[in-house]
Structure 1
Amino acid sequence: MRILDTHLHLVYPERFSYPWLSGAPAINRAWPVEAYFAEAEALGIESALHMEVDVAEADMLAETQFMATVHPKVVGAIAACRPESADFPALLETLAGMDHVKGLRRILHEAPDTLSQSELFAENIKRLAVHRLSFDLCLRADQLPIGIALVDKAPDVQFVLDHCGVPDVAGNGLDPWRAYIGEMARRPNVAAKVSGIVAYARPDWTVDDLRPFAEHVIESFGWDRVVWGSDHPVCTKTADLTRWVEATREIVAGASEDEQARLLHRNAEHFYRVGGH
């Protein structure tokens, strides 16, 4: 079963500045595309979307431009943006003119809750709809209610909830996360990404530690509104790419071939407009 990875981070310190990596010594190095596909291809990952890596603001556009030609199997990019800025509409027009840009993201899980709640932020997010660009929501579990509030202000925009809503996997923090996920799933313009949970697990995690989080997301959103992402190299904090892919396949082993295809590539091609969708 082929995989389209919707959440690949490529890191090129010689090209771009990543201020946050100084606080993440375990992954603070170059992560080039060739090294990723050397492992990924054997796992059935045939293509990937580059997810912005929270580069310094001055490097955001350059990072997005670079990903257009970084590798033939990187079939699109989710670009960094600042919807809280009055300059956002001009940036959006530029990004919308790039065929390889499939969506946008502004990291919110390390930002003040108020950032995404301003009227300017919401009005700027609403602008994505006319360009058929999605917005990836990266929120902590406790922030899911503010994510729901933002989604409700932009009902015509396709949102993708990253990392299963960032639950506390290590602490088995199922509640109130489960209720928040159920509420988010009631919004038809939101899809969920089964990704990231490895990084929030204990270093000695087992598949059964991950299973209730992945299964609740799939059950809540349904097989038509879930996509898969590696979150590489962040996943290497507690595993490697191979182990995360193997864990995913074990978790969904009881699903039909059609359901697995929807999770692993077909839905992503639709939501991110890959391959003529």
Structure 2
Amino acid sequence: MMLRVDAHQHFWAVARGDYGWMESSPSLAPIRRDFIPNDYEEFRTRYNIERTVLVQAAPSIEETEYMLGLADATPWIAKVVGWVDFEDRSHRRHLERLARHGKFSGVRPMIQDIADIDWMLRPDVQWGYDAICALDLTFDALGFPRHLGNFRRLFDRYPKMRVVIDHCLKPEIRNQSFDAWAAGIAEIAAKTPVYCKLSGLATEAESDWKVAALRPYAEHVIGSFGANRVMWGSDWPVINLAGGFDAWRQAAEEIVGNAAARDRIFGGNAAEFYRIT
């Protein structure tokens, strides 16, 4: 039996003060409060989730240290995806230090929040990808459909980098925008070894979304990457803005369907990619 894993969830303590994005819109008010491991227990129990991957939500080394502290105190937090400043080459020392922690997996620069669409290809940030490869760490690719071309170039440039695309690269579901995103996703899936997280789709849909609205996007991701390179993530507590954990989990289960694929998508692939035992 494969491990059941939530490949993408968050915890945060608002008073830490480095979650600037939370102040950007009144619509974020429902999640502008602390979320800690005890708050997640009901979902772990309900869906028999044995391990989770805790992902950064602030652009600071301090938040990464905070998350590793939570992981040290919480056996079921299997891995932490943190952050370093790609614009500061001296942060190589942080990567080297963090890589020695058994629960540190890799990093996620907040590319979706960077105005320069070509930022990821700038010469001054390439040291970061080189270090990820050298230290055998993971890279969570966070962006929008407009980043598809540059991500393809990045993945080609670093074929040995262990990469997973977050949130299916956030297709514009509420605008029923599909074709350009779908073509870019299919190309990356066919031409690179990267994985993709089946997460974040509900957040990109209308607030009263139905499974039928998400299905074409989810099925395209699964069809493109195959059942062995797709991993389900809750994106909790952000998912509270788009129907909640239960609605998204049940929609994903309905869409995935096939029993063999379920084991891989709801745990096996995340365990393989993040090296969770």
Residue of 143, 146, 152 corresponding to 1:148: 152
Q: Distance in 2 between matches of 1:269 and 1:58?
A: 25
Contact 1:16–1:59 (CA under 8 A) maintained in structure 2: no
Q: Distance in 1 between matches of 2:136 and 2:193?
A: 12
Q: Structure 2: which 5+ residue stretches go unaligned?
A: none
Match in the other structure for 1:213: 217
Counterpart amino acid of 1:237? L
Q: Give the alignment of 1:48-87 within 5 angstroms.
A: 48-55=52-59, 57=60, 59-87=62-90
Deviation at 1:85, TM superposition (A): 1.9
Cα separation, partners in 2 of 1:75 and 1:193, compared to 1, 3 Å: same
Q: Distance in 2 between matches of 1:2 and 1:248?
A: 17
Match in the other structure for 2:13: 12
Deviation at 1:122, TM superposition (A): 2.6
CA deviations over 1:77-108 (Å, ceiling 9, x no partner): 11112223212311110111111011211111
Match in the other structure for 1:262: 264
2:249 corresponds to 1:251? no
Match in the other structure for 1:108: 111
Match in the other structure for 1:129: 133
Match in the other structure for 2:29: 25
CA deviations over 1:115-162 (Å, ceiling 9, x no partner): 211123233212212322110000101111111111111111011000
Cα separation, partners in 2 of 1:5 and 1:220, compared to 1, 3 Å: same
Contact 2:14–2:32 (CA under 8 A) maintained in structure 1: no
Q: Distance in 2 between matches of 1:269 and 1:93?
A: 23
Q: Distance in 2 between matches of 1:251 and 1:102?
A: 29
Q: Structure 1: which 5+ residue stretches go unaligned?
A: none
Point out the more displaced range, 157-166 or 145-154.
Answer: 145-154
Q: Distance in 2 between matches of 1:77 and 1:249?
A: 25
Contact 2:8–2:235 (CA under 8 A) maintained in structure 1: yes
TM-score (normalised: structure 1) = 0.93
Number of corresponding residues: 272
Q: Distance in 2 between matches of 1:184 and 1:122?
A: 20
Contact 1:21–1:28 (CA under 8 A) maintained in structure 2: yes
More helix by share: 2
Q: Distance in 2 between matches of 1:124 and 1:15?
A: 26
Please give the secondary structure, in 2, of the residue aligned with 1:26.
helix
Please give the secondary structure, in 2, of the residue aligned with 1:126.
helix
Q: Distance in 2 between matches of 1:65 and 1:40?
A: 20
Contact 1:148–1:184 (CA under 8 A) maintained in structure 2: yes
Please give the secondary structure, in 1, of the residue aligned with 2:154.
helix
CA deviations over 1:241-264 (Å, ceiling 9, x no partner): 1111100110011x2x22211111
Please give the secondary structure, in 1, of the residue aligned with 2:266.
helix
Please give the secondary structure, in 2, of the residue aligned with 1:63.
helix
Cα separation, partners in 2 of 1:88 and 1:73, compared to 1, 3 Å: same
Counterpart amino acid of 1:26? P
Please give the secondary structure, in 2, of the residue aligned with 1:36.
helix
CA deviations over 1:174-228 (Å, ceiling 9, x no partner): 1200111011112333100000011111111000101011110111111111111
- CA RMSD in angstroms, aligned pairs only: 1.7
Please give the secondary structure, in 2, of the residue aligned with 1:87.
helix
